[in-house]
Amino acid sequence: MHSTTPSLTSKGSRLKLAELTSGIGAIVLGLGLGVVAGRLLAGIGLPLLISGLLLHGWGMYDKHRLESGAVPQPWWATALYWICWALLAGLAAYLLLTLGRS
């Protein structure tokens, strides 16, 4: 009898890669929009940045919590998860310092 586990693991890895590719595409799209419409969006940049930070952080936490016991995660998915949290913490610190100077 054949086990379907390797197939599911491979499919899970492909799903993670697709999600990662989609997320990076969203980042590039947002960056491009900011560059193209920078002057128009200048007044709402900080609220958008804070909203994005909070939404992304919650989404990462919730997804990680839901998947934590489902299937073994590839090493790079776990690494990216923690790298992203580190970058979000750095961004939050930068925002707090910037707002503190204002």
**pLDDT (tens digit per residue) in 37-85:** 888 877 887 788 788 888 888 887 877 777 777 667 778 777 888 888 8
**pLDDT exceeding 70 applies to what percent of the chain?**
87
Q: Is the pLDDT of residue 3 over 70?
A: no
19 with 56: CB under 8 angstroms?
Answer: no
Q: Is the pLDDT of residue 5 over 60?
A: no
The three-state secondary structure class of 67 is: helix
3 with 64: CB under 8 angstroms?
Answer: no
Looking at residue 6, its pLDDT comes to: 52
Question: Which phi and psi (to 5°) does residue 71 adopt?
Answer: -140, 155
- The pLDDT confidence band at residue 9, using thresholds 50, 70 and 90, is low
The three-state secondary structure class of 70 is: coil
All residues at 6 or more sequence positions from 45 whose CB lies less than 8 Å from its CB, including other chains: 34
